[in-house]
Every structure is written in structure tokens, then in C-alpha cells.
């Protein structure tokens, strides 16, 4: 009987020890994502092996975001920080310094071929204030608006998670491959939708220049009164110049963005006679119950809005 009790106790110790070890190993990676699109990518790759904190939340504007003390705390505790790079997150270095984080800072645009942007409408003073160099060519940071680039973001995330959690690497790679197939399918839908739009009608207006990579990849032309950052206010002359160009180019649709004040777009719509076609999601996803709660939802929403406004379907 005594031997049986000792054996049972020994087995209990072994079981508890094994449970404790597995629990320690199962502690999720603490991941901080700079904004919602990156957070969505991370969740698709990481699954239940990670815990994600997002700095700039749904419908938030990373260009003008001011970090909070809670953001610094999250950064300080993080194992990995995922950022866009290309100067998209103007607040990033201040937050890294304030938090004194020891986390790995992973720039997800590594491997992306950047495209340049030259402000057409923003005046020199406004452009300088927005960091666009007074009309000089600068790098467009909105690389995630190309689905091909989204695949690069996903690959970089999987590699970062594998480096931090080798035991979960197969899981991360499998998740990344599954999600990449979904991205491939969405890209096919986007290309088919744009192919259905007559070339003469592939000109649309948005608030700021967030869609350069989408334009470059899929063949739409986007006009915007603001530059690549929302941290500027176009002058009356800028707006007048855009209105004239719109009339000449016969833009087919005009859209507000979820992160910007619709007033300017409504003014342009009034002066050109073009009806506002809806809301496009540019630099942030929607609230969870909105039409762009995930990156794939965002792409579906945007192309559906564009095609519907142009073709009336």
C-alpha cells in the first residue's frame, strides 16, 4: 500500500512538472502591432500562440497618432514589435525611446519595392509640414495596399515568430501558407473587378494619397488633395487645381476615407457634380462589426465600393 502511495505521489509530481513545463512553453508571444492591418496579419500567422496588442486602433490615423502611457507599457512588455516602416509611424521612435523596450523591432516592408510619391496638389508649406519635403519626391509608405506586398508582410511576420519561438515555427509557417492562399484568391477577385471597369472610367478621387501601391499594382488612377500624410491641410488653390483636373480627366467616382474628415471630399463632390460613392478603408481597418474588420474584408469592401460607384452596380 505504501509503495502504491509513493508511486502515485511520484506520478503526480511528474505530471505536475510536465504540466508546468508545457504551460511555460505555451505562454503566448507578446506581440505589439503598430496598427490594425499589421495586427490582423499577425493574428492570422500566430494563431493562439501569440497575444497581440495594437497601438493605433480601428479607424485610427497613424500619421497623426499620439502614443499613450499604456502604449509605452505594452511596448516595454513586448517580445516582438511589428511595424510598417517607410516613415508610416511618425510616433514610433518616441515610443521606443519612452518604453525602453528590449523587444525585437521588425520592419515588415523589408523586401518590398517602394514606390515614390511626388505631391501634385499639396502646396510647399503644407507638404513641408507633412514631411513631404515641399513637393519633393518621397517614399510612399502605404505598401500594404498591394496584396503582393501583403504576402511579403506575412512572410516577414512568420520569420520573426519562428526566430522568437522555434517550437511554434511549423505552426507559423502553416498558418502563413494558408493565409497567403486566401490573399491570392482576393487578389484574383480585385483584378477581375478592375478588368470589368472600362479604362476610361478608372479614375477615382480619395482624401489622401494612400492608394499608390494599389494604383501601381491594379491599374486604377487615384487623385487626392492631400499628400501621403493626413498631417496637412490643402490650400484653396490646391483644391481648385484638383477640381479642374477632375473635370478634365472625367473622374468616375469620389470617396471619403475612414480616417479623414469628409468635409473636403464633400466640397469637391459638390463642385464637380460627382456623387460620393462611399467609404474606402486606407490606413486602418474598421471596428470589428464594420465592413472592413480584417484586411481581406477591407480589400473586398474597397473594390466593391469602387466598382459599384463607377458601374452603378
pLDDT of residue 232: 62
pLDDT of residue 134: 47
pLDDT of residue 196: 96
Place of cell 480585385: 190
Distance CA 180, CA 244 (A): 41
Among the ranges given (15-29, 68-82, 111-125, 217-231), the one the predictor scored with the smallest mean pLDDT: 15-29
21-48: average pLDDT: 86
Distance CA 95, CA 90 (A): 10
pLDDT of residue 220: 94
Longest dimension (CA), the chain: 96
- In a 10 Å sphere around its CB, with 0-12 CB exposed, 13-18 middle and 19+ buried, how is residue 250 labelled? exposed
**Cβ(31)–Cβ(80) below 8 Å:** yes
269: helix, strand or coil: helix
117 dihedral zone (left: phi>0; alpha: psi -120 to 50; beta): beta
- Check pLDDT > 70 for residue 10: no
pLDDT of residue 155: 98
pLDDT of residue 230: 59
**Cβ(204)–Cβ(252) below 8 Å:** yes
Higher pLDDT pick, 245 / 198 = 198
Per-residue cell: 277: 460613392
Tens-digit pLDDT profile for residues 232-243: 666 777 778 778
pLDDT of residue 263: 83
Higher pLDDT pick, 151 / 121 = 151
- Check pLDDT > 90 for residue 62: yes
Tens-digit pLDDT profile for residues 24-33: 446 999 999 9
In terms of Cα–Cα distance, which of 146, 136, 138 is closest to 111? 146
**Cβ(286)–Cβ(293) below 8 Å:** yes
Burial string for 33-62 (b: 16+ CB within 10 Å, else e) reads bbbbbbbbbbbbbbeebbbbbbbbebbbbb
Distance CA 226, CA 282 (A): 13
φ, ψ (nearest 5 deg) of residue 61: -110, 105
- Which of the four pLDDT bands, split at 50, 70 and 90, describes residue 127? very low
Burial string for 5-27 (b: 16+ CB within 10 Å, else e) reads eeeeeeeeeeeeeeeeeeeeeee
Amino acid at each position: 500500500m505504501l509503495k502504491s502511495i509513493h508511486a502515485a505521489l511520484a506520478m503526480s509530481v511528474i505530471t505536475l512538472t510536465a504540466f508546468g513545463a508545457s504551460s511555460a512553453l505555451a505562454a503566448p508571444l507578446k506581440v505589439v502591432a503598430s496598427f490594425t492591418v499589421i495586427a490582423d496579419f499577425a493574428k492570422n500567422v500566430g494563431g493562439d500562440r501569440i497575444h497581440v496588442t495594437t497601438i493605433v486602433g480601428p479607424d485610427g490615423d497613424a500619421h497623426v497618432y499620439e502614443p499613450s502611457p499604456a502604449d509605452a507599457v505594452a511596448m516595454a512588455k513586448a517580445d516582438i514589435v511589428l511595424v510598417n516602416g517607410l516613415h508610416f509611424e511618425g510616433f514610433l521612435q518616441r515610443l521606443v525611446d519612452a518604453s525602453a523596450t528590449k523587444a525585437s523591432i521588425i520592419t515588415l516592408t523589408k523586401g518590398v519595392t517602394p514606390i515614390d510619391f511626388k505631391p501634385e496638389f499639396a502646396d510647399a508649406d503644407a507638404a513641408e509640414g507633412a514631411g513631404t519635403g515641399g513637393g519633393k519626391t518621397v517614399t510612399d509608405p502605404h505598401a500594404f495596399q498591394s496584396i503582393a506586398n501583403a504576402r511579403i508582410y506575412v512572410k516577414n511576420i512568420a520569420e520573426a515568430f519562428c526566430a522568437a519561438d522555434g517550437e511554434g515555427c511549423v505552426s507559423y509557417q502553416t498558418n502563413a501558407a494558408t493565409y497567403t492562399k486566401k490573399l491570392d484568391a482576393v487578389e484574383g477577385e480585385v483584378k477581375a473587378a478592375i478588368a470589368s471597369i472600362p479604362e476610361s472610367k478608372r479614375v477615382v478621387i480619395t482624401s489622401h494619397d494612400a492608394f499608390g501601391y494599389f494604383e501601381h499594382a491594379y491599374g486604377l488612377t487615384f487623385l487626392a488633395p492631400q499628400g501621403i500624410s493626413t498631417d496637412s491641410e490643402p490650400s484653396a488653390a490646391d483644391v481648385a487645381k484638383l477640381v479642374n483636373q477632375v473635370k478634365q480627366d472625367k473622374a468616375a467616382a469620389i470617396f471619403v476615407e475612414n480616417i479623414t474628415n469628409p468635409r473636403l471630399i464633400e466640397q469637391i463632390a459638390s463642385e464637380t457634380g460627382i456623387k460620393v460613392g462611399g467609404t474606402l478603408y486606407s490606413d486602418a481597418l474598421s471596428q470589428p462589426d464594420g465592413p472592413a474588420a480584417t484586411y481581406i474584408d477591407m480589400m473586398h469592401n474597397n473594390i466593391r465600393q469602387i466598382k459599384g460607384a463607377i458601374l452603378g452596380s
